[in-house]
A and B are shown apart, each in its own frame.
Chain A
Amino acid sequence: MKYALFLGCTVPVRGAHYELAARKVAGLVGIEFADIEDFACCGFPIKAFHTHTAFLVGARNLALAAQQKLPICTLCSSCTSTLTEIAKAVNTNPVVKLKANRELASINRHIDREIVVRHFARILYEQVGLDKIRSQVKRPLASLKLAVHSGCHYLKPSGIFESFDDPEIPYTVRAMIEATGASVVDYFEEKKCCGGATMGIEEMTGLGIAKRKLDSLRSADADALVIICPFCDIMYEANQRKIEQVFNTAYDLPVLYFPQVLGLAFGFDRRELGFQFNTVKPDKILEKVGV
């Protein structure tokens, strides 16, 4: 199983822990990553500004993967929905493909094959599978109570994702976390958006949206919130202190990337999984599982 690893913009500068843990977990379960140095932005942040330019910027990445004859593995959920949407249009509509290639000719790029785009979590769930994940567990996380946030663009718009999960009752990430032996708690605001995309428009709105989830998690009594997207991480982890200050409250809730949780169960040590980069210190959790 070989994929071109698409890091996007946010993971390289703010998600070293995500990347480190994802590479460790992938290597263990037999996913090989090819690194394409020239991958650029997926196009998501330009879509509101100019949708067609966003399409071209995204299509360029597809052309780079096509050149290597590889499917794409994404880590960020917004990269996932943006590139999947573009791939879907190019793969299924010959007119769109023709026009895209005509424009990509300006940079000597070409999409000559069907391109598959998959979020890392979806690859683990579909290609690796729960049985293999369970079979790799060396350090069961039975002592942990975790909350899951599947976010938005991993699941939606659902029309582009072939119903691999249910956008109204998401279960794929949850099932993988449960496969580690951890228990997954329910909480009222589980399906709510992190609010990340509103931060640049009106900061108080973004912080307010993220606060709702953090508030709702309080009564769920979780040891940590598990996420799958660096945008969500910025809201719940990097901005957690700010939300506490602005709204005069306290959470001290660790936020973990899902490969960090899988990696813990698989027996990797804390540095290999980048726990030194978590801004809300997860020491209590690590103590609980004896790392």
Chain B
Amino acid sequence: MATKTTEFNPDFKDAVVHEEGGERVKRCFQCGLCTAACPVRDVNPAFNPRKIIHMVLLGMKDQVIKNDAVWLCSTCYSCQERCPQDVRVTELMNALKNIAVKAGFPHPSQKKQAELIYNSGRLYEIEEFDNRKRQRLGLPPLATKIEEIKVLYRQGGIESLVRPAEAK
């Protein structure tokens, strides 16, 4: 399927510049060092940071934020460390993920993680069972529910994105 340049959104790169982490996207001169350094690209050609940046600069908003590719960044920072233009590529990928979430296209696994942390304060809930096991090993107990995290989600403005529908 051919891409129509008339459907590009030239304002997209400016929106990215205004997102935390996306500020330096226009510095990119497409050398491709990010892609050469990328361990994800090594095994999955669907992820290509140079190409994603080019798509941002061209204004291919939908193709960037409605696609799983951007979520494949493993955040290893290999690209960011080596970029000759100091684009801060890893932070840029994170900014694109944030933009995708705001536009209503979060990756389901990332939404699930955010929900788990909202519910117990941790990615993996600590239950009484875990604390009994810790006690047997001579390790101190951990809080099982940390309600303050819910307040911080509200503060951050994302509580409605992670609360189960029936609790609303």
Contact = CB atoms under 8 A, between A and B. Distances in A.
Interface of A: 7, 9-10, 12-14, 16, 19-20, 23, 35, 37-41, 45-53, 56-57, 60, 103, 106-107, 109, 152-153, 156-158, 167-168, 191-193, 195-198, 200-202, 204-206, 208-209, 212
Contact of A37 (B21, B44, B47, B141): B141
Secondary structure dominating the interface of A: helix
Contact of B81 (A156, A192, A200): A156
A192 B76 CA distance: 8
B43 A205 contact: yes
Interface string B67-108: 010011111111011000000101000110110010000110
B110 A200 contact: yes
B42 A212 contact: yes
A277 B16 CA distance: 45
Given A53-B156, A195-B40, A205-B47, 6 more contacts: A12-B126, A41-B122, A51-B94, A53-B158, A158-B81, A168-B81
Contact of B124 (A13, A200, A206): A13
Interface in B120-168: 121-124, 126, 130, 133-134, 137, 139-143, 146, 148-149, 151-158, 161
A13 B75 CA distance: 23
B40 A53 contact: no
Contacts, number: 179
Interface residues of B, number: 61
B117 interface: yes
A106 B68 contact: no
A24 to B, nearest CB: 10
Given A10-B124, A20-B137, A47-B94, A200 B76 contact: no
A202 B108 CA distance: 12
A195 B44 CA distance: 12
B72 A52 contact: no
B149 A195 contact: no
Given A12-B126, A49-B101, A56-B155, A37 B106 contact: no
A109 B123 CA distance: 22
B68 A201 contact: yes
A222 B75 CA distance: 27
A50 B101 contact: yes
Contacts of A35: 140
A202 B151 CA distance: 32
Contacts of B139: 16, 19-20, 23
A9 B123 contact: yes
6 contacts: A107-B151, A156-B77, A192-B39, A197-B73, A198-B74, A200-B109
Contacts of A48: 71, 94, 97-98, 101, 107, 110
B63 interface: no
A151 to B, nearest CB: 9
B30 interface: no
